Amino acid sequence: MIFRISLTLLMVCVAGCSPHKDAEALLDDYLKRLERVSGLEIAPVEPAERPAYPPRRLLLHSIEPPDIGWTELWGYRHCGLSELLGERNSVLGKHMQDSTHFVMDARIIERLRACLELIDDDEQKALTRSLLTIKISQLPYRFSNATVASTEMQTFWSYSAPPLQPDSAGISAALEALGVWASTGQMAESSTPELVVLESQNSVLRQRGGGRTVKALLMVREKLEAANTLLASAASSRRFCPYNHPTEELEWARNVMRKVFIGEVQPYIAQLNNSSLQLLEEFFELVEIQPTETQEALADFGQRLNQTQQDFVSATKKHVALWQEVFNSCHSSPRTQERTHD
């Protein structure tokens, strides 16, 4: 199953955000200003359900290593494979992290290929080819256990950290980590991965970049939908221009829109939108190279991620349109009006 997302980009301002407010405080301040200038109250919005990453037990593959006797193992002593297989089958080897298991199996595949060129015994060669076939067939499942089924990925999509912040550097490190894992999976059979590189990527995933981004998308959507209800009411009731006469509050509303929404909120929305689109694209690319049953287990989560992104975009577009409606209802413009007198 192939995941694809709609790459609908928001055309919004990319100016810097205020470093003094966290994401939720930024939106709450904006809502309070809307309440003050309109004289209307913000109605609470029912929070959307968070996309839940599947439990690890539904994603983890049970993989049985091939049984090799001591006699067969001894036959590999001249090509360096016996030491590697001994390490793999030791007590410590059986309790390796999934990323270590994956790298170890990739190393074994590399060594088996080398042994084929050095072994003269036909029976040993046949065993080597059999082991190589088994290991190559198991490698995608080792990769799956080390990536989407890993404890690090569970942590990555956890919601226990605050939402992505306006003054943060975004999630560039997380995007790189997902990209490195995807590239590793595509080249694992032909190029042995470096464990130290993969472990450094896992440390990035433990920073919960996925959950922080989705949490921010949901928070912004909820706040904007509350603001949308207020703006829709103000436009339909012509709150800022009763009897076709614009009030002073209309100019105050224009200042809130220009200085707070365009100047502070929109830059954060632009950052979040770009980060989330890139995040989903990188994650879905990683999912696409998983075994079919793993893709199916992640299908519902992927659909919910897409829906969360789309709902965020819809709420933002609607908010911009409702500001226009507010000024249209008063036959005015969102642009600052020229004053003819003090």
Boundaries of every domain in the chain: 23-56+160-171+209-329, 61-148
- Average pLDDT value for residue range 41-68: 91
- Average pLDDT value for residue range 208-219: 96
- Average pLDDT value for residue range 259-263: 96
What angle (nearest 5°) sits at the alpha carbon of residue 309, between those of residues 304 and 315?
120
What pLDDT was estimated at residue 84?
A: 78
Calpha distance 260→240 (Å, rounded): 19
What pLDDT was estimated at residue 136?
A: 93
What pLDDT was estimated at residue 337?
A: 53
Residue scoring higher pLDDT (71 or 60): 60
What pLDDT was estimated at residue 94?
A: 64
Question: 């955000």: which residue's tokens?
Answer: 17
Q: Does pLDDT of 103 surpass 50?
A: yes
Q: How confident is the model at residue 2 (pLDDT cuts 50, 70, 90)?
A: very low
As given in the structure block, the two tokens for residue 284 are: 């879905």
Q: With beta carbons less than 8 A apart as the criterion, state whether 224 and 321 touch.
A: no
Calpha distance 224→217 (Å, rounded): 11
What pLDDT was estimated at residue 170?
A: 66
